[in-house]
Structure 1
Amino acid sequence: MALQIDTLAYTNRLRQLPPEHKLLFAIALLLITYCTSVSIQLAIAVWLSVWTVIYAKIPAFIYFRLLLIPIGFWLTSLPAFIISGVGVEHLAAVQADIWQGITWGNVYLYLSRHGIQQAGALAARAIASTACIYFIMLTVPFTELLDSLRRVGCPALLTELLLLMYRFIFVMLRTASEIWTAQQARGGYRTWRLWMKSLGLLVGQLLRRTLENYRQVSQALDSRGFTGDIRIWHSRRYKTSKRYSLEALFGCAVLVALTGWQYVVGV
């Protein structure tokens, strides 16, 4: 999946647009997401889905499969939001917050109306924020993202560390996949005991091979006269699009206006 994401970032239909434009667009929507209501957050998620799936031509299956990740984390936290308990003697104090409930001994367990509202607000914000991040991930190659960070004054040491970390993510995933396949071919996960033993061996081998790959990369850089500065060449052959620029500006302006109007109405 990680390699596929990297491939899509280089082959999407918005590839020719300047990365700075896409970054500013996603960051502006991310800021709006944290200042607005649930309805506008859902509108941002839908609008960015249109940009990602229709404009950038990212396969819908991959995109919505990625969106299942934050939804999965949200589902794991859902019981903590919506399920509450109170002593039977204090039941009258929370009567307005009870949607459904049952008595269990001296405790009354119930579904909280306020908790359900909080869970819905959290889901909308998480999906909208994740859509902003995915738009950057799927339309801006990582090297161009680092180049943009350097242009705005980000320290070179930080961008180089990010580049090396990004490189070793793929190394670790490939190595883990190879070890996992080899262990499965030998029946290493047939029982729970073998599963735990094989997993421990996988982690140990993964660490050893990652350190070995790091040593090889260090030797390769030294043999090529590395002086402490990793330089990446970019052709900068980008084309601005008036249509996309106007749509982004107009959409952000409408979202900001709707957010301000909701604050005024709320007051």
Structure 2
Amino acid sequence: MRGIDELAYQSRLRQWPPLGKFLLTLSLLIVALTTDSILIPLMTFFIGACLLVYSTGLRFPRMIGMLILDGLVVILVGCLVIALITKGGGEVARFDVMGWTLTLDRDGLNLSTLVLMRALAGITIMLAFITSTPVPHFAMALRQLRVPKEIMELTVLVYRYSFLLLEQLETMTIAASSRLGFKGIRNSLRTSSRLAVGLFSRSLSMAERSQVALNCRNYKGDFPIYRPPRRLTLAWVIGPIGLAIIIYIIDNFLEPIWRISW
């Protein structure tokens, strides 16, 4: 979580309007998920990958990279299952595995490929947005949409203090591990329950002390940002929507000529 926050503040796309990036992400996701053509998710994946590379330079923290790879493995396994259980369109390949006969049909391969490209497009587009938009900037940008001030400040408070709770949890986990608290299933369950109770009590104590600290600093219900993000303009409304329409038109033009299927 902290790694994503650091990437967002160091991103080359941080100066773009947060609502503009959100509208671009939403437009690309909608056009990628509402079509039966593989070409549109492929194009949105390429756009998302270019934005992600430009935003971060692929400098992901090790933990974030491992989480991304873990998600990709889950997606690949799911697509393999879809390809095996979906029948129709004619048999493409047959495998004998430990006495089991597995067949791959055209409809299954087409559907699994479509799901895979949709998932990859969604991951790259969402990562490009998350790694380029700090949460406080996005919360402040929501004022342009008339979102209640209390909701935005509550979001910023929860986001900021979640890092402190994560640090507390990490410290408590290290202390419990040094005392062999996670040796064996029984000890692990007991230690995990105690950690949950301890973290809850510490969060209440932290909330009380934080409120006192905020009052001492003349907190009036908002956190000032001295370099506010850029506002959403008409160009940032027309641009993402126009890009989605162009992708859809290109697909309708190229699909009869270059149809991607098995």
1:119 is displaced (CA, Å) by 3.1
1:202 is displaced (CA, Å) by 2.1
Q: Distance in 2 between matches of 1:187 and 1:231?
A: 42
Aligned to 1:46: 46
Aligned to 1:31: 30
Alignment of 1:6-17 (within 5 A): 6-17=5-16
Contact 2:7 2:56 survives alignment (8 Å): no
Q: Alignment length, in residue pairs?
A: 251
Q: 1:149 aligns with which of 118, 142, 147?
A: 142
Q: Distance in 2 between matches of 1:248 and 1:259?
A: 17
Matched AA of 2:72: I
Contact 1:26 1:136 survives alignment (8 Å): yes
Task: Tell me, yes or no, if structure 1 residue 122 matches structure 2 residue 115.
Answer: yes
Alignment of 1:161-172 (within 5 A): 161-172=154-165
* 1:111-163 CA distance string (max 9 Å, x none): 56344443332222122112222112111111110111111222223323322
Q: Distance in 1 between matches of 2:164 and 2:15?
A: 28
Contact 2:39 2:251 survives alignment (8 Å): no
1:208 is displaced (CA, Å) by 2.0
Q: Distance in 1 between matches of 2:200 and 2:77?
A: 30
Q: TM-score, normalised by structure 2?
A: 0.75
Q: Distance in 1 between matches of 2:174 and 2:110?
A: 44
Alignment of 1:85-104 (within 5 A): 96=90, 100=94
Structure 2 counterpart SS, 1:232: coil
* 1:1-58 CA distance string (max 9 Å, x none): x1121111111222233333323322222222223332321332232222222x2234
- With over 3 angstroms needed to count, the CA separation of the structure-2 counterparts of 1:162 and 1:238, relative to structure 1, is closer
> Structure 1, unaligned stretches of length 5 or more?
86-92, 241-246
Matched AA of 2:50: V
Task: Tell me, yes or no, if structure 1 residue 19 matches structure 2 residue 18.
Answer: yes
- With over 3 angstroms needed to count, the CA separation of the structure-2 counterparts of 1:222 and 1:260, relative to structure 1, is farther
- With over 3 angstroms needed to count, the CA separation of the structure-2 counterparts of 1:97 and 1:209, relative to structure 1, is farther
Q: TM-score, normalised by structure 1?
A: 0.73
Contact 1:84 1:109 survives alignment (8 Å): no
* 1:76-99 CA distance string (max 9 Å, x none): 6457534549xxxxxxx9895795
- With over 3 angstroms needed to count, the CA separation of the structure-2 counterparts of 1:56 and 1:248, relative to structure 1, is farther
Matched AA of 1:18: P
Aligned to 2:75: 74
Q: 2:174 aligns with which of 162, 169, 181?
A: 181
- With over 3 angstroms needed to count, the CA separation of the structure-2 counterparts of 1:260 and 1:39, relative to structure 1, is closer
Aligned to 2:194: 201
| Amino-acid identity (%) | 21
Contact 1:67 1:127 survives alignment (8 Å): no
Matched AA of 1:71: L
Q: Distance in 2 between matches of 1:84 and 1:75?
A: 14
Contact 1:52 1:58 survives alignment (8 Å): yes
Q: Distance in 1 between matches of 2:211 and 2:78?
A: 42
Q: Which moved more, 1:169-178 or 1:96-105?
A: 96-105
Contact 2:49 2:125 survives alignment (8 Å): no
The root-mean-square deviation of aligned C-alpha atoms, in Å, is 3.9
- With over 3 angstroms needed to count, the CA separation of the structure-2 counterparts of 1:206 and 1:256, relative to structure 1, is same
Structure 2 counterpart SS, 1:255: helix
